[in-house]
Amino acid sequence: MQRKQETFNRLWHSDEWVAANVAPADEFDYSQIDSLQLFAGRHPAAMHARIERQNWRFAHDMSRNRYRFKDRIKQVIQKLTGYRLGEYRNYKLV
């Protein structure tokens, strides 16, 4: 994620700006992300070898997730009805 952030900033800023404003870090800072959850599904078979080779250790305290009141209400409605308020879909599920 850190490399992705640096690469993204290079699209809009010079290398000097990135060096001055994007702190190099061993790990990406997830503290500004409000809702994360651990992946509990199964990866495709093609990804298993790649995942084993990587050092992808993720230890985020899920109790630190911060939701605004309106987002908590939207989550409750989505869990009860399956409908996500305010979401635009330019496709139809078949």
Structure confidence by residue, pLDDT tens digits, 7-61 = 888 898 888 888 887 766 666 666 667 677 777 888 899 988 888 888 777 677 7
Instruction: Report domain extents, the chain.
Output: 2-30+42-81
pLDDT-derived band at 81 (thresholds 50, 70, 90) equals: very high
Rounded CA-CA distance 62/36 in Å is 7
pTM: 0.42
Rounded CA-CA distance 38/50 in Å is 19
> What local confidence, expressed as pLDDT, does residue 75 receive?
87
